A and B are shown apart, each in its own frame.
Chain A
Amino acid sequence: MSLNELMIMRHELVLVAAVLALLIIEIGMPEERKQKINVFAAIIAATVTIIGFLPADTGMLFGGMYSTDPLRMLMKNILNIGVFLIILQSVNWLRQDLYKDRSSEFYLLTFSSLIGVSYMISAGHFLMFYLGLELTTIPIAALASYEQFKSKSAEAGIKLILSSAFSSAILLFGISILYAANGDLYFESFQLSDSLINVLGFIFFFSGLAFKISVVPFHLWTADVYEGSPTNVTSYLSVISKGSSVFILTIVLFTLFRVIQPLWEDVLYATAILTMTIGNLFAIRQQNLKRFLAFSSIAQAGFIMLGIINGTSLGMTTVIYFVVIYVFSNLAAFGVLQTVGHASGKLTMDDYNGLYKTNPQLSLVMMLALFSLAGIPPLAGFFGKFFLFTAVAEKGYYTLLLIAVVNTVISLYYYLLVVKAMFINANENPIASFKSDYSMRISLVICVAGILITGFYSPVFEYIKYLCETF
């Protein structure tokens, strides 16, 4: 194996290098200048993201354990951007005295998790996939309880780590059954036999991934963990963790389990309906905005299922395209939550009453983000959602489509509740006017630009479509 060949694994190697670099900087940096680590982390994240876009070879490594191709690279790049944005958003939060001594932990764990994400996406073997999955989750569980003096944070950590351990046990059980039935664990050569036991194996396997995407009925951890974790960790969970799982689920379903497409279509059909509906019904009543966004992200997961059901390259395109938009929209929303929460400690819907009067720009960003999530033109979310619907309609599942569009109306209702709170409701004691920090602003500007441009700039979609067709 030459060095050149190893460079196929560029994304992961760069991340490993980043982790190492951070460790070294952390150790070498004098105590009083520890603050600077935030800047380094942001720079490193930017570098990682940029390197990800550089052209590189694709192919397989380690006898097929690891494989990459332009589509997978794109997926990783999307998530890299997401992580970069999250890191920009966390800088100010980590600067506070409470965390400044251990801010590097946050970055280290985040990057470690990102390594897991990358490996998971590039997995060519169930073992590799499992390793990636665990590497994604475990650091995040630690991060979820990052705020060590808050019992909620610990609770979130516990719920996440135990649920995920439970779910990975089930997933592994599924893999073991698949192994028994087919005698192979390499994706490349995996041939699904028509044994009925595969159904069992597949569904156990699926539930493990569905857990990460928070598909109903495997979603129950989501809201609690999202609420308890630090906001930036929540962003990570809702965007990177979920996005990566969506990607790998799509890949796996479209390749390994292609032969049992009718089966997983049925499973997705049912779970998609449940996910959208339950997510929406719960979101309606939420007061805590993080919890609110948690349920909203469950509902969004339901919409994503719609694209996967399609089962063709169009479906895959729409899913990836939607995730791109979802990254921008959700991160914009969480960014606002983060900065407002950090500045005022306020997090409920009522606290947001009259926000527009004091912080118009943040309110506008939040509104755009929510409208994009709701699928309102001309924002990117509209295009994303419409294309997902296109994917369902192509399949001819008009009943499902009808249920989905009804759900968009319900979702619009609760998104509007937040908009109403910010723009319409009066508040005697509104959140004071404040200025958010530069890195947060940069991040929000990028998000808003993404929300505004992605839809109109069709080459994004066309490029993804091209990659999916050649996948």
Chain B
Amino acid sequence: MILIALIVIPVLTALAVMFARDARQTKNLSAVGMSVQLTLSFYLLYLFLKERASGNTEPVLFGKRFEWYPGLNINFDIGVDGISVAMILLTSIVIFTGIFASWEVKDQFKEFFASLIILATGVFGFFISLDLFVMFLFFELAVIPMYLLIGIWGSGKKEYSAMKLTLMLMAGSALLVVGILGIYFHSDVNGTHSFNILELTNQNFSIEMQRIFFPITFIGFGVIGALFPFHTWSPDGHSSAPTAVSMLHAGVLMKLGGYGCLKVAIALMPEAAHELSWIFLILTSISVIYGALGVIAQSDLKYINAYSSVSHCGLVLFAILMLNKTASNGAVLQMISHGLMTALFFGLIGMLYSRTHTRIVHEMGGLMKVLPFLSVCYVIAGLASLGLPGLSGFVAEMTIFVGAFQHPDMFHRVITIVAISSIVVTAVYILRVVGSLLMGPIKKEEYQHLEPAKWHEKLATVTLIIAIVIIGIAPLWLSDMIMESLGAILD
């Protein structure tokens, strides 16, 4: 029941928003809706942990099945495992903060909030669905509002970016159609084909079939996970998107890729994954190091963050391809960690931009003096990004590296070390930005009188920071919760 509520509440909120009278009501409705959603997510976590504590070891909890298209054996199958619960938590936190980060959207606010919430609905639906068809439906539902959100409320060459982003992501999802249909028609569950992930997990697909559909599915999800060389939508898209959209997109939407790769591509076609992982490992390790090195030469804050997201999300896929529980656990942790901190980053960039009206790093400087609160938050986000212990990034990265190191052969070693070297590069670009953006002398006279952070901005950033710190300091519960679910996927 609670899972259905997780979809229904955003839908209702979006509808209610469309009928709101004025800006104030719109914002209040959105905020209330998403607060309820956040509460519900925590309640789900509580229920989940309680069930697990009471010894329930079903791979998927709170499962529900509604027959939908019996003729094609399509069912509205929902249920959650530890990974989904974690991702739902992430999503509800990010959308909650996203609402507050876009508190000052002025024109067409109703449409803005409604689209944003619809996008979130897609993401929630994606994470709770167990049926590939339903999953795919929600996947596309999450992608499409992006076009309008960037196109209408974006900045810069927004139309171009929005189009590029949408088309590339849809091209990815087009591959997914091929992938999931291939899986569907090669499955045989009691004489019929099936879209149900749980039923499909037990299928032994022939290796020939896997060789074709594993790459297709993996690339299909990989596009949204910024897999090299299909990542180029990300810099343009992020740089043009409005704040909350960047937050949600980099924070949550890019995670659909990793989640899908793990739970569909790899879980269903493990043999091909083993056989072909090397190709994608090379691509992802390129993503990791290439993204990081690419950042150094950027000067626009959003580009910096977009490329760094390429690097970090590359690490997610990289870890997944290591095909062991530890690395995959790290991947999920990294998704959450990156989701939180990149949302924080984009939120802060938006807040800074609204004050200084520039995103070029060297045009700003010394903001620490004039905007202490936001600057400190930026530093914390930066530290999380470069993997400071006590913040979430460290937990995730270390888990990935330890997991990746479980492969003793030369190829994996080399590629892992290449990936690890990104921590150095990350430090370089983070500190470079922090150094010239926040520290040093104040660049322009008018920056002396910037407006300090408002309550809603503080609420958004503090929420994210708290989440980052909690995961950074006490990661065991989360890690164990994810680990448990991985058993069912990878064993």
Contact = CB atoms under 8 A, between A and B. Distances in A.
Contact of A420 (B140, B144, B163, B174): B163
B166 interface: yes
B178 A398 contact: yes
Contact of A424 (B138, B159, B185): B159
B170 A423 contact: no
Interface in B128-178: 133, 136-138, 140-141, 144, 147-148, 151-152, 158-159, 162-163, 166-167, 170-171, 174-175, 177-178
A21 interface: no
Contacts of B181: 389-390, 393, 401
A259 interface: no
Given A394-B185, A424-B152, A401 B166 contact: no
Given A398-B212, A465-B71, A382 B178 contact: no
A412 B178 CA distance: 17
Contacts of A458: 68-70
Given A377-B141, A378-B137, A405 B69 contact: no
B470 interface: no
B184 interface: yes
Contacts of A376: 140-141, 144
B481 to A, nearest CB: 30
Which of B141, B174, B185 counts the most A-chain CB atoms under 10 A from its CB?
A: B174
B67 to A, nearest CB: 8
Interface string A443-465: 00000000000000010011001
Nearest to A402: B178
A387 interface: yes
A137 interface: no
Chain A's interface: helix, strand, loop or mixed, by majority?
helix
Interface in A381-427: 382, 386-387, 389-390, 393-394, 396, 398, 401-402, 405-406, 408-409, 412-413, 416, 419-420, 423-425
Nearest to B153: A424
A186 interface: no
Interface of A: 317, 371, 376-378, 382, 386-387, 389-390, 393-394, 396, 398, 401-402, 405-406, 408-409, 412-413, 416, 419-420, 423-425, 458, 461-462, 465
Nearest to A367: B148
B182 interface: yes
B72 interface: yes
A401 B148 CA distance: 28
A408 B174 contact: yes
Instruction: Give me the 3 closest cross-chain CB pairs, A-B, nearest first.
Output: A405-B174, A393-B181, A377-B137
Nearest to B72: A390
Which of B69, B133, B141, B162 counts the most A-chain CB atoms under 10 A from its CB?
A: B69
Contacts of A423: 148, 151-152
Interface residues of B, number: 33
Given A416-B166, A423-B152, A424-B159, A462 B171 contact: no
Contact of B71 (A389, A393, A412, A461): A461
Contact of A461 (B69, B147, B163, B167): B69
B147 A416 contact: yes
Contact of B147 (A382, A408, A419, A465): A419
B144 A371 contact: yes
B69 to A, nearest CB: 5
A419 B68 CA distance: 31
A462 B167 contact: no
A386 B152 contact: no
Contacts of B212: 398
A412 B166 contact: yes
15 contacts: A382-B140, A390-B181, A393-B181, A394-B185, A405-B174, A409-B167, A413-B167, A420-B151, A420-B163, A424-B158, A424-B159, A461-B69, A462-B69, A462-B70, A462-B71
B400 to A, nearest CB: 32
Given A401-B181, A423-B152, A412 B141 contact: no
A405 B166 CA distance: 15
Contacts of B171: 406, 409
Nearest to A385: B177
B159 A389 contact: no
A412 B167 contact: yes
A240 to B, nearest CB: 27
Given A317-B71, A409-B167, A461-B71, 8 more contacts: A376-B140, A378-B141, A382-B140, A386-B136, A393-B178, A393-B185, A405-B178, A462-B69
Given A413-B167, A416-B163, A386 B185 contact: no
Given A394-B185, A409-B170, A424-B152, A386 B163 contact: no
Contacts of A386: 133, 136, 177
A406 B69 contact: no
Contacts of A405: 174-175, 177-178
B177 A389 contact: yes
A458 B151 CA distance: 33
Contacts of A389: 177, 181
A415 to B, nearest CB: 10
Given A378-B141, A420-B151, A462-B71, A398 B182 contact: yes
A461 B71 CA distance: 8
A409 B177 CA distance: 12
B233 to A, nearest CB: 13
Given A393-B182, A401-B177, A405-B178, A412 B170 contact: yes
A413 B178 contact: no
Contacts of A419: 147-148
Interface string B43-78: 000000000000000000000000011111000000
Nearest to B174: A405
Nearest to A413: B167
